[in-house]
Amino acid sequence: MANDKEKKTRKSGKTLETAREAGYFGKKMLKSALQAREEGRPIGWSMVTWWQGELIAKAMGVEMVFPENYGAFCAAVRQAEPHLEIAESEGFPSTLCGYARNCIGYAKKLADNNFVPPADAPGGGLAKPVFFLSSGCACDARYKWFQALGRYLDHTPVWTLDIPQTGTVEYFLPGNKEAGIQFMVKHLRAYVTFLEELLKKKLDYDLLGQMVDQTFKTLRLAHDVDVLRRAKPSPMISTDFWSVMIPHLYLPYDPEAYEFYKRVYAEVKQKVDSGIGAIPNEKYRMMFSELPPWHSLGFFDELAERFGIAMVMESWNYHAPVPIPEEEIAGINDPIELIARLSYRKWTEYNEIARRYNVDPGFFMAAYFQYAEDYHADGLFAHPLMSCRPATYTLLHTRNMLEEKLKVPGVVVDGDIIDLRVFNEEEAFSKIEAFVETMDHYRDLRKKAAMAW
């Protein structure tokens, strides 16, 4: 067995060639923003808004960077700690989101360095923004955090975009879906007005339309890759996905992202057609929820080696949405409305299955019912995170409901997105070792119940 030092620095073995290429896009984002700074072009710091606000800003010439992604990057290269310490010394509670504390600490360093990214900043750092794009969706941190950054980055306005988050029953109330979409359309038009005033230029709707069109294509292709992954053995696993997701989540409008996904699709299809699994000895198919331990992705390789566990599906919030039915967008040419429908789709895509199983909420949770059915999952790896509440709130509940309604058990292994000290690998392996027997047991139960898997 690898010694401690080797374990801690073991990188994950991505099984796809294209997954190994995907790091290019993360670096491209950082580099583009630094280049924009050099050239005097505006930069925005953005939350993931599920394509709601990023596309519009990009169409207006703003180079967008994503501090959430930067937090994951800093964690992966083990350079988040100094930023966390700064945030805590500034008085921000240590229980706040790890990505946020990483960003707050970095923002202070940026401010102290006269708004020049410090020379030792991981990945070259994030350049000073002209505005912050925050989100009222998914969690409170995602609008409170950017609000707090005014302390270090003065005269930098924050714009918050909402996405309706109704309950399952409420979603189906007559007219509520369309009302939610039209709320978002008006919301986005107000955002456009804000940007036009800030940047002193008009939005090029034709350009935005092209970007939206490309986005739909890229996300469709990313979804098609997800569909391929239903094959047995699984052609692609979670550690691959957590790399390849970067372009579709952050850069779906980029033609390079689309070309990349064509290669991903081709590679995965080839493996499906050849019956080649991502891991050589697939015995168990597990789902992972929700955010991974970026600092310790090699852990999943060892799960595969030791137990034959293939992580076949994961992280609902990072995936491309199930495509919108054509009839819902037929004849709609307004790119603003298409964006609204796309983002709304992401947050409501599994409400039908939530209704079928009579569970709430539809987001973060119901997806795993669909995944269990589609991917023939044997178990759920539920990963509560010390500093990411949205990705943690519903984990135990999801585990409970999957076990009750689909006879798919779950194992709970604590960790964190940033703080590697919280994740005890040996303890995790022990739990999984015992859990394998649980998965065997529930397979028998499903068989006796004549379920499909």
Partner 1 sequence: MASETKLQGLAKAKDIYNHRSKRARQLKAEGKKILGYFCCYPPLEIMTALDFLPIRILGDMDEPITIADGYLPTVMCIFYRSCFDCGMKGRYDYIDGFVGSHACDGAERTSHIWKNYMKTPCNFFLDIPHTSRPEAVDYFRLQIDYFKQTLEQFSGKTLSPDRLKEAIALHNEQRALVRELYNLRKPDPPLISGTEMLQVIIALMMLPVQEGSALLKEVLEEVKTRKNVPEKKAGRLLVWGSLIDNTAFTELIESAGLHIIVEDTALGTRPFWHDIEATEDPLMGLAKHYLQEVKCPRTFLPTGSSYKEDLEGRFSYLKEFAKFWKVNGVFGNIIRNCDIHGYEVPLVREYLEALGLPVLIIEQDYSTASLEPLRTRFQAFAETIG
By CB under 8 A, name the binding residues for partner 1.
Answer: 90-93, 95-97, 100, 134, 136, 139-141, 143-145, 147-148, 150-151, 154-155, 157-158, 160-162, 164-167, 169-170, 173, 175-176, 179-180, 183, 186-187, 190, 359-361, 384-387, 389-390, 392-397, 400-401
Q: In what order do the strands lie in the sheet with 158-161?
A: 63-65, 43-46, 131-135, 158-161
Nearer to partner 1, 162 or 224 (CB): 162
Nearer to partner 1, 224 or 352 (CB): 352
Helix, strand, coil tally for the chain in percent (to 5): 55, 10, 35
Please state the closest distance from residue 165 (CB atom) to partner 1, in A. Answer: 6
Rounded to whole angstroms, the Cα distance separating 200 from 316 reads 38
Please state the closest distance from residue 134 (CB atom) to partner 1, in A. Answer: 8
Task: Please answer whether residues 102 and 83 qualify as being in contact, where contact means their C-beta atoms are separated by less than 8 angstroms.
Answer: yes
The H or E element containing residue 354 is helix 351-357
Rounded to whole angstroms, the Cα distance separating 364 from 372 reads 14
DSSP per position, 244-283: HHHHHHH-TT-HHHHHHHHHHHHHHHHHHHHT--SSTT--
Q: Return contacts of 430-437, CB within 8 angstroms, 24+ apart.
A: 432/303, 432/306, 432/307, 432/309, 433/306, 433/307, 435/379, 435/409, 435/411, 436/284, 436/307, 436/309
Task: Please answer whether residues 171 and 348 qualify as being in contact, where contact means their C-beta atoms are separated by less than 8 angstroms.
Answer: yes
Nearer to partner 1, 277 or 415 (CB): 415
Please state the closest distance from residue 190 (CB atom) to partner 1, in A. Answer: 6
Nearer to partner 1, 14 or 108 (CB): 108
**Range list of β-strands (E), 57-102:** 63-65
Please state the closest distance from residue 384 (CB atom) to partner 1, in A. Answer: 5
Nearest to 65 by CA among 132, 143, 117: 132
Please state the closest distance from residue 158 (CB atom) to partner 1, in A. Answer: 5
How big is the CA angle at 361 (ends 355 and 363), to the nearest 5 degrees?
A: 100
**Distances in whole angstroms, Cα of residue 351 to Cα of each of 183, 360, 367, 402:** 19, 9, 9, 16
Rounded to whole angstroms, the Cα distance separating 57 from 40 reads 16
Strand partners, 64: 44
Nearer to partner 1, 44 or 235 (CB): 44
Cα dihedral: 121, 123, 128, 132 (round 10): -120
Please state the closest distance from residue 1 (CB atom) to partner 1, in A. Answer: 30
Nearer to partner 1, 87 or 212 (CB): 87
Please state the closest distance from residue 386 (CB atom) to partner 1, in A. Answer: 6
Nearer to partner 1, 120 or 154 (CB): 154
Please state the closest distance from residue 90 (CB atom) to partner 1, in A. Answer: 5
Nearer to partner 1, 124 or 157 (CB): 157
Please state the closest distance from residue 433 (CB atom) to partner 1, in A. Answer: 22
Please state the closest distance from residue 208 (CB atom) to partner 1, in A. Answer: 20
Nearest to 355 by CA among 168, 87, 124: 168
Nearer to partner 1, 223 or 389 (CB): 389
How big is the CA angle at 350 (ends 312 and 145), to the nearest 5 degrees?
A: 85
Rounded to whole angstroms, the Cα distance separating 101 from 361 reads 28
Q: Is 16 helix (H, G, I), strand (E, B) or coil?
A: coil
Nearer to partner 1, 145 or 242 (CB): 145
Please state the closest distance from residue 393 (CB atom) to partner 1, in A. Answer: 4
Nearer to partner 1, 249 or 395 (CB): 395
Nearer to partner 1, 173 or 434 (CB): 173
Q: Token pair 């397979």 is at which residue?
A: 443
Nearest to 77 by CA among 124, 110, 113: 124
Please state the closest distance from residue 124 (CB atom) to partner 1, in A. Answer: 26
